[in-house]
Amino acid sequence: MMVLIRNIPAVHEIQQTEVYVELLHNKHIPDLIVKGWIKECLSTLRKDILDDNEKYNDYSRNDFILLVCDHLLKKSDSYYEYNLRTVLNGTGTILHTNLGRARLSEAAIKRVVETSSYYSTLEYNVAEGKRGSRHDIIQDLLAKATNSEAAMVVNNNAAAVYLVLKCLGKGKEVIVSRGELVEIGGSFRVSTIMEESGATLVEVGTTNKTHPYDYEQAITPETGMLMKVHTSNFKTVGFTKDVSTAELKEIASSVMESNETSTNSIIIYEDLGSGSLYPFKHDGIGDEPVVKEALKHGADIVSFSGDKLLGGPQAGIIAGKKSIIDKLKKHPLARVLRVDKMTLAALEATLQSYVYGENVRDIPTIRDILQTKDEIKNKVHVFLDKLPDLSSLWKVEVTEATSQVGGGTMPTVEQDSVGVKITYEGISTSKLEKMFRKISIPVITRVVEDSVFIDFRTIAIDEIPLLHTSFLEVDEQAKKLHTSH
């Protein structure tokens, strides 16, 4: 065993190999990193020998050097591979939270690149040559897009809910209907956020029915807010009743009028969840409220996500009365939850498409939701027409299906879609699904009726060449599997 240990090369011996030189000078990997890999490999070898001296029994010094070089080459292969990688979304779910929700418009991407390549006016007032506020960047645009007096942006909608409750609800009672006490995936519960914020949750009504008198009876001098939460990811059907924003406004106003001695003002806050700016219901898709409507019906403030139906970057937008927004902007949490310049750049461009743009379909989320079955079918045909030569063991069939919007929005909306059902003779569905994930650009598919299915609603026309490459790669692997049997 001692002999073996003595045969293990030293770091400087590896540094004399061609592989080492290749990594440093051709692959441009920093010396420090390569040295780290060498040390890591040598210490593993030493440990392996101490654990089991049979394993490398007949290894010469040169064999060890080759072994280390092999290890270095493997390491260097994955050195430039990112952990955050591109995938093709074949699930048909447009706002797939696990796959990054909304794709940005070309205009938004361009703005992100420009803003992060140069210095910017993030917090600088060029006219006056002094400090400015990052809130001012999209305040006007947001106000225009939502018909509100003022607006601000934080990290995401969960952060927006937290800021609103902490700043305006802390130490007060906040009334919420039991039917709206939702959990929005990733352990975001309204009740938990409320507890964390220091506001006291007052639940009214039942899971399926809440009436105006439930709120009226629950209001006390400690009431600071009536909160409405959009039940984004589910829908109660049948024997149901909820209280509208307009009704809430009326209740709050009459309480405040009848109680002139009280200095208490009751805020109506609506967490809209996805907060659409585009009226999808006019196209017969779902019945998602648009932000303007919620504000028109009497909400003092609303909050919603930037990367759900809006189709922009991850962000939480709060819009409504100026006096309230000003208070939120001054709260210390606003600094904690502030957004980066890239977010603001992308959001500004996305909002411009809504306010001044010629075609909202420039926003991929809107485009993908509005796509008709014929448009999707056309993409499938483009894909099939140019599909490269594959083994005859493949079967690729055009199949119709339904897809969902996702991201916890429009839960009951099932849209007609088209895609391809794929089988490969001799390879199981689960194996094939896995093979599509384990290639350079993974394709995330759906298993439908025990076949792999790629839904083309979420495959953009310019992604089709990438999808062809994916098929070729899986074809290669499948051939190898077959010949090894």
Ligand X SMILES: *Cc1c(COP(=O)(O)O)cnc(C)c1O
Q: Is 228 in the site for ligand X (CB under 6 A)?
A: no
Choose one: 23-31, 79-87, 268-276, 329-337; the region binding ligand X (CB under 6 A): 268-276
* 43 CB burial (10 A radius; 0-12, 13-18, 19+): exposed
* Partner residues linked to 173 by β-bridges: 200, 223
* CB closer to ligand X, 197 vs 305: 305
Query: Rounded to the nearest whole angstrom, what is the least distance from the CB of residue 306 to ligand X in the complex?
Result: 7
Query: Rounded to the nearest whole angstrom, what is the least distance from the CB of residue 355 to ligand X in the complex?
Result: 21
How do the residues of the chain divide into helix, strand and coil, expressed in percent and rounded to 5?
45, 20, 35
Q: Is 286 in the site for ligand X (CB under 6 A)?
A: no
* 462 CB burial (10 A radius; 0-12, 13-18, 19+): exposed
* CB closer to ligand X, 350 vs 470: 350
* CB closer to ligand X, 7 vs 97: 97
Provide the H-helix boundaries in 371-457: 373-385, 429-437
CB 416 within 8 A of CB 424: no
DSSP, collapsed to helix, strand or coil, labels residue 296 as helix
* Partner residues linked to 424 by β-bridges: 394, 427
Q: Is 271 in the site for ligand X (CB under 6 A)?
A: yes
Q: Is 305 in the site for ligand X (CB under 6 A)?
A: yes
Q: Is 364 in the site for ligand X (CB under 6 A)?
A: no
Helix (H) or strand (E) holding 23: none
* 24 CB burial (10 A radius; 0-12, 13-18, 19+): middle
Query: Rounded to the nearest whole angstrom, what is the least distance from the CB of residue 294 to ligand X in the complex?
Result: 12
Q: Is 230 in the site for ligand X (CB under 6 A)?
A: yes
Selected from 8, 29, 153, 184, the binder of ligand X by CB under 6 A is 184
One-letter amino acid at 244 equals: S
Structure tokens, 422: 């794929």
Choose one: 25-33, 85-93, 271-279, 381-389; the region binding ligand X (CB under 6 A): 271-279
Residues 66-125 that bind ligand X (CB under 6 A): none
Contacts of 189 (CB under 8 A, 6+ apart): 181, 182, 183
The 370-389 contact track toward ligand X, x by CB under 6 A, reads: --------------------
For 134-153, the DSSP string reads TTHHHHHHHHHHHT-SEEEE
Q: Where are the beta strands (DSSP E) in 429-478?
A: 443-444, 446-448, 451-455
Q: Which residue is nearest to ligand X (CB)?
A: 273
DSSP, collapsed to helix, strand or coil, labels residue 424 as strand
Choose one: 224-232, 258-266, 279-287, 414-422; the region binding ligand X (CB under 6 A): 224-232
One-letter amino acid at 12 equals: H
At residue 277's C-alpha, the angle toward residues 419 and 269, to 5°, is: 125
Query: Rounded to the nearest whole angstrom, what is the least distance from the CB of residue 102 to ligand X in the complex?
Result: 11
* CB closer to ligand X, 9 vs 169: 169
* CB closer to ligand X, 410 vs 427: 410
Query: Rounded to the nearest whole angstrom, what is the least distance from the CB of residue 418 to ligand X in the complex?
Result: 28
The 127-166 contact track toward ligand X, x by CB under 6 A, reads: -----------------------------xxx--x-----
* CB closer to ligand X, 180 vs 475: 180
Rounded CA separation 269/272 (Å) = 9
φ/ψ of residue 467, rounded to 5: -65, -35
Choose one: 73-81, 239-247, 266-274, 347-355; the region binding ligand X (CB under 6 A): 266-274
Number of residues that bind ligand X (CB under 6 A): 15
* CB closer to ligand X, 145 vs 410: 410
Residues 407-436 that bind ligand X (CB under 6 A): 408
- Give the interface with ligand X as residue ranges (CB under 6 A): 156-158, 161, 184, 188, 229-230, 232, 271, 273-274, 305, 316, 408
